[in-house]
Structure 1
Amino acid sequence: MEAAHSAGLTIGYLGSKDALSERHRELAETVLLLPDVSPDRVVQAAVALHGVQPFDLAVTMHDTFLQTVARINQELGLTATPLRTVTAVDDKAFMREVLRGSEVGKVAFAKVRCAQDLLGLGEVLGFPLILKPTRGTGSQQIHFVRHGARLRELAGELDFSVPGKETSAPWLAEEFLTGPEFSVETFSVAGEHHILAVTEKFKTANFVEIGHLVPARITAEQQAPIAAEVRRLLTALGVQEGPAHTEIVLTDRGPRVIETHTRPGGDAIVELVRLASGFDVQELTFTWLSGKPLDLTPRPLAAAAAIWFLTLPEGEVTSVGGLDEARAAEGVESAYLTAAVGDLVPPLRSSWDRQGDVLAVGEDPDTALSRAQQAVGLFEVEVDPSTASRPDPPPGRRGPAIRHHLPLHRTVTT
C-alpha cells in the first residue's frame, strides 16, 4: 500500500478487520471490512463496492486471495492476468496439465484424489517421489516418499477432501528432482518477462525454507538456461503483466520448474532483490499499474544480500535475548525475534514454525550469507524440551533448559 500510495494511486481496502492496521487506514480512501473473507463473499463485496465506488483493478500479494482477486477482475471486466492463468499458478496439479505439450522441461506427475490413487503412485512414478497439497503454501505438508510402506501410512493420515470447488485434486505427486534449488524473480510487461534476480534457497531435510541469498552463486552458463526456462513457463501459462516468483531445481537434465506464483516472493525476498539487484518489486508493480514508464535499469545498493531464519527444537521457551546484539552485527539490515517466554515451539514443519530472522548485506554472496547466519547465532533462546508436543505442560515436571545458538540444524540444498 505504501508503494501504491507513492505511485499516486487511490487505494481502497477490502478484507478482514484483523489485518487492518492504523497505517492501512491512513493510506486507504475507502475501507470495507468483512467478517467472512471466503472467496464468494469477497467477490460479492467487491462487485457491490464497484457499483458505488468504481475501481480500476483489484490487487493482492497473498496466495490465499490470488484466485479470488482474479475472479473479481474477470467479473468486472477489468484488465488483469486472466483467471485461467492465476488458477494454473494457484493449483499445482492444474499447472502441470496446462504445461502438457509445452516446451517447458518435463516433470513426471500424478494427481491424487483418493487413497487408491496414492497407493498406486509407485507404479506410476517410481521412487523416490514428492507428495504435496495442490494449493499448499509455506512449505506445509510436503512429503518425501522413498517406498510403498510410506504411501500406506499416508493413506491413513491424509485428508482427501477437495479444499475448493476450483481445485483439480487435493494432492499432487511428482518425481523427486535432484539438484540445487533457486527461485527466479521476474516482472512481465506485455508478455515480455524481465529477470530481476535469481535467489539461492536453503532448506531443511523436510523442505522448510530457512535461508535465501541474492544473487545466487551460479555461473552465467547456469543462469542462462534457468532464465530461458522461466520465460518459457510464464509464456506457456499466459502471464502477461506484473511480478512472478518461480521456483526451480537445476537438475542434470537442466532446470525443472517446481511451481510459480503471480506475486512477489515471500520471506523478504523483495527486500533482498531491492538491496542486491536494485529493483523494488512493489514499486515496479504500482508504477506499472499507474501507467508510468518502467525503469528496469539495475541499481544495486549492495553486492549481495541474504536472510537466515531462526529455528528451534520443540519445547517451551524459557528465556530470550541477543536481539540487540544481532541488530548491531556487521552488515545487518534488520533482525527479528518472534520467540517469547512461554511460547511452545512446535515441530519445524512449515515457514510459520520459524522464530526469527536476520537480513544482512555483504561485498559478495558468501559474506552476506555468513553475516546473516552469524548474526542469527547471536540470538540466545533457552528451550525446555520436556514440554515438547504438550499443549499444557504439567507443573513440576520440567527438564533442564537448553540454550540454543545457530546453526541449530544441519541444512541441505535440494
Structure 2
Amino acid sequence: MKLFVIGADPRREWAFSAWLRAGLSITLADGVSGGGFEHAVDRFHPVEVRDERADVQSLAAMAAGHDGVTTLAEGSLITAATVARELGLPGPGVGAARIARSKVRQREAGRRHGLPGPRHSAVSGPDDLVRFFAAGVQAAVLKPADSSASAAVFAVHGVEEALERWPRVRAISPSRTGIVEEYLTGPEASVEAVVRDGELVFSSLTRKQTGGPTGFLEIAHTTDRADRPDAALDALVRDLIAAWQVESAILHIEVKLDGGRPVPLEATVRPAGDYITELVSAAHGRDLYLDQAHLALGRPLAADRPARARRAEVRFLLASGTVRRNVAPVEVLDGLTEVKIVRQLAAAGSRLPPLTANWARAGYALGWSNDDGDALTGQLRTAVSELGRLMGASEVA
C-alpha cells in the first residue's frame, strides 16, 4: 500500500523505519523541514507543505493514487487533513487539525465542552496583556498560540514581565499571536492515544520532567509498563476527542496532574516527538507510528507486541558554549548497559543557541530496563553528562 506523507519534522527516523519494515511504499512531500528523509522513501517531492503556504490542490494531485495521507510535521496538520478529505481518505478531520494548530482554539473548544482549563486570554498586542493582568492574576504562562517544541514559553509574574517577553513570543508565532494563561502547579505528563472513527482504542501515560532557563524545556520523559492512564485521564481523553470531533488519529495530550481532575495543557493530532513514541514501543509494545500509518490507510490496527522492558526513559542534554568535537557513542556507552542510544544534536564547531526551545538541546540518551528504574535514570544522567563533557560544552542544570 502507498502512503503519502506531507511534511516530516527532524528526528522521525523511527517512523520511516517502521513503515518500510511493514512493506509500505512511502512518498514524502516536504521542502522545508530539514528532516533529511529523502533517502528513506520511495519518492520525494521538494515542495512547500506548511499550512500557511501550501498549495493543497497540487498536493492532492500528487497524492492521488495513494492509499493514505498523513504528516509528521506540526506545521502541516491542516494541510494533510485537508488533502486526506479531498481524496476521501481517513484522517483526524480538518476541524480537529485546525484546533490542534492553535492553543487559543484549543482553550475555546475545551471551554465550550466543559473541559477543565486555566483562565486564559488570546494575545495579539500589549493591550491584551494589560487587560489580563488587571483582573488580578499574578503568576501566568505566556507563549505563542501556534508553535511547538516549548519555543518561547515563559513564566511571567505581572504585566511588566509579560510585556518584556511579548516581542520574543510574537516573533516565534507564525500568526504573530500568543496566549496567556494562569500558571497551574503540579507535575506534567502526556497521554498518547489511538483514536479510530472517534473512539479511543489505546492510551498510555508518560511522565515528564521540565526545567532549564525557561522552566519549560523538556528534560526527560519516562513511561512504565504498569503506569497507565486512570479512569479520570481516559475520561478526559474521550471528552477531548468529542470536543475536537477527532476522527482517526494519534493524539498527543499534555496534561497537569494536580490531584482531582487532570487538566489538559495542549494537544495535537500526530504522534509525540521527543522519542516518546519510541518509549511507548519499548515499555508497552505499541508501535504508534505503525498505528498512524494503519489509521491513514484504513487498515486494521496491528496487535500489541511483547514489551521489551518494564521502564523506558529519554533524557536530554541542556548545555551552553561552543561544541569542541563530534563524540562517538562508543566513547559514552561503555559500562552503561541500560542505555541503548546516545546522540549528539549539535555539530562540532557550532555555538549552542540560547535555551529557549527544545530544539536548542545539545544531545540525548535513551534506554530501557527490566530492573530498578532509578538505576536506569542514573545511567542516563551519566551518559548525558559524559556526552556534554566530551563535546566540550558546559552542562546547564
| TM-score, L = length of structure 1 | 0.82
Change (3 A) 1:125 1:241: farther
**2:138 is the alignment partner of 1:127:** yes
Task: Write the distance in 1 (CA, Å) between the matches of 2:140 and 2:75.
Answer: 26
Task: Write the distance in 1 (CA, Å) between the matches of 2:287 and 2:133.
Answer: 44
Spell out the pairing of 1:147-166 with structure 2 (5 A cutoff). 147-155=158-166, 159=170, 163-164=174-175
The number of aligned residues is 376
**2:333 is the alignment partner of 1:327:** yes
- Write the letter of the residue equivalent to 2:79: T
Change (3 A) 1:22 1:54: closer
The aligned counterpart of 2:26 is 11
The structural deviation recorded for 1:118 is 1.4
Task: Write the distance in 1 (CA, Å) between the matches of 2:323 and 2:35.
Answer: 27
Change (3 A) 1:346 1:305: same
The structural deviation recorded for 1:134 is 0.8
Please, which of 218, 235, 238 is the counterpart of residue 209 of structure 1? 218
Spell out the pairing of 1:354-369 with structure 2 (5 A cutoff). 354-362=361-369, 363-369=371-377
Please, which of 65, 77, 80 is the counterpart of residue 91 of structure 2? 80
- Write the letter of the residue equivalent to 1:369: T
Change (3 A) 1:150 1:341: same
Deviations 1:149-201 (A, max 9, x none): 2133235655389834xxxx711111111000000111112222134321111
* SS of structure 2 residue aligned to 1:272: helix
Runs of 5+ consecutive residues of structure 1 not aligned to the other structure = 384-401, 410-414
Task: Write the distance in 2 (CA, Å) between the matches of 1:264 and 1:133.
Answer: 21
Q: Quick check: 155-164 or 368-377, which moved more?
A: 155-164
Task: Write the distance in 2 (CA, Å) between the matches of 1:322 and 1:33.
Answer: 32
Please, which of 178, 181, 192 is the counterpart of residue 185 of structure 1? 192
The aligned counterpart of 1:23 is 39
Runs of 5+ consecutive residues of structure 2 not aligned to the other structure = 1-15
**2:56 is the alignment partner of 1:47:** no
The structural deviation recorded for 1:238 is 1.2
The aligned counterpart of 1:379 is 387
Task: Write the distance in 1 (CA, Å) between the matches of 2:296 and 2:326.
Answer: 43
Task: Write the distance in 1 (CA, Å) between the matches of 2:311 and 2:173.
Answer: 42
Q: Please, what is the CA RMSD of the aligned residues?
A: 2.8
- Write the letter of the residue equivalent to 1:223: D
* SS of structure 1 residue aligned to 2:324: strand
Deviations 1:232-281 (A, max 9, x none): 21222111212111100012443100011111111111111111111111
The structural deviation recorded for 1:311 is 1.3
Deviations 1:114-133 (A, max 9, x none): 11111221134611011111
**2:370 is the alignment partner of 1:370:** no
| TM-score, L = length of structure 2 | 0.85
The aligned counterpart of 1:172 is 179
The structural deviation recorded for 1:6 is 3.8
Task: Write the distance in 1 (CA, Å) between the matches of 2:105 and 2:375.
Answer: 40
Q: 8 Å contact 2:344–2:362 — kept in the other structure?
A: yes
Spell out the pairing of 1:52-63 with structure 2 (5 A cutoff). 53-63=64-74
Q: 8 Å contact 2:91–2:295 — kept in the other structure?
A: no
